[in-house]
Every structure is written in C-alpha cells, then in structure tokens.
Amino acid sequence: MRRINYQFKDSSLCELALTHRSCGKKNNERLEFLGDSIVNFVIAEDLYKRFPEAKEGQLSRLRAQMVKGKTLAEIARDMQMGDYLRLGSGELKSGGYRRDSILADSVESLIGAIYLDSDMSTVSGHILQWFASRLQQLNLEQTMKDSKTRLQEYLQSRRLPLPDYQLENVEGEAHEQTFYIKCTIAELQQSTSGVGNSRRQAEQESAKSALQQLQEHGVKL
C-alpha cells in the first residue's frame, strides 16, 4: 500500500489491520478500538492549536466533522484501501469493500497498527498528512449547531411542541438504504421532508427544510 507512505517493520500488523471480522476471530476490531482513540486525540490537538480562540463546543463539533465515518471512508478511498481489504465471502459478494463503515473502520485499524509498529510521533505525522487538505478547509463558521438542534432550541425558546419526525419510507438493500422522513411542527401549516442514507441524516434534512421555511415566514433564527 504505497499510498499510506509507511513501511511496516512487522507486516503481520498491516495484514491484521486490513482483516475484517467477517474473516474470523483474528480480525482488526482491537486495532480499530486503538486507532479510534489515537485519531481523536491527534485531530483534537491539531484543532486546539489551529483555532486558539475557539470554544470547547466549537472544537468538539469540528473534531466530530473530521473523524466521522464519512470522512474516514473518503480517506480510505483516497488510499484505495478497498483494494486491499480481507473480507469474508458474504461481505465480498455484498460489496463490503465499498461500504463506508468498513472503510472507515479500516482507517482506524491501520492507525492503530502504525502506532504499534512505530510510535506516537510517527503515527501523528501520517494522520495529519492524510487529513491535511480537510483540516486546511475548516473554519469556525462550520461549528454551527446541526439543524435538528437549532430547530429544537428555537421551539423550546417559544415553548412550542417539539418536532415530530416520522419515517415515511425506506428503500434499497440493507447495506445501502435510503430513508424518507417527514418533519411536522405546529408553527408550520405543512410538514417538510428529508432524504438520506441514514434515518439521522434524513431527519437532519427535514429539520433543515423546516428552518428554511421558518426563515421565509420572517422568523429570525
């Protein structure tokens, strides 16, 4: 894997990092656990130094944006990790090497493996290299609360009933589903809709539409 720009001294660690649990008991779950803690610390430290005026909540939201599964999966694709994953037959048939969750976990397990094979300074350097372009694009304006939180806080401030999110439909196979959510709030005469690859994402989209409608009605958020 030349794209990670690291030469393992113990090649068995690299092999283990790329072995999904569908292959059996000897898999990358323990390395994933270790890597998850390391990447959270390294990104947190970078953000702390990068944004000296940021408050704790802002730093937390920026870190969450950086280490979420979707971002990690993008990094895995940048390194073409899907081509090297060891998967069980079931995961191979269902396209597991393309799935965000498996790709994201593999990045964390690789981080854990590099740490065990070297040291904290080395693995930190690689993490910051992989995240460099994304970190450079960050700004504090991106730390605004998510749409569901903003909508809930607005309604609570007016002592109005909380939003009602209803699952309208789910399409697709279990590993690649699309969710359709309807959001209803008392202040709007009509409900808003949201679509996403997870129920949470669809709820966020429907809440975002509700906020937009409220603003169109002259509400200041």
Which position among 46, 105, 108, 205 bears the catalytic label?
Answer: 108
Q: Is 100 a catalytic residue?
A: no
Burial class (CB in 10 A: 0-12, 13-18, 19+), 205: buried
Which position among 36, 91, 105, 203 bears the catalytic label?
Answer: 36
Q: Is 173 a catalytic residue?
A: no
Give the catalytic positions in this structure. 36, 108
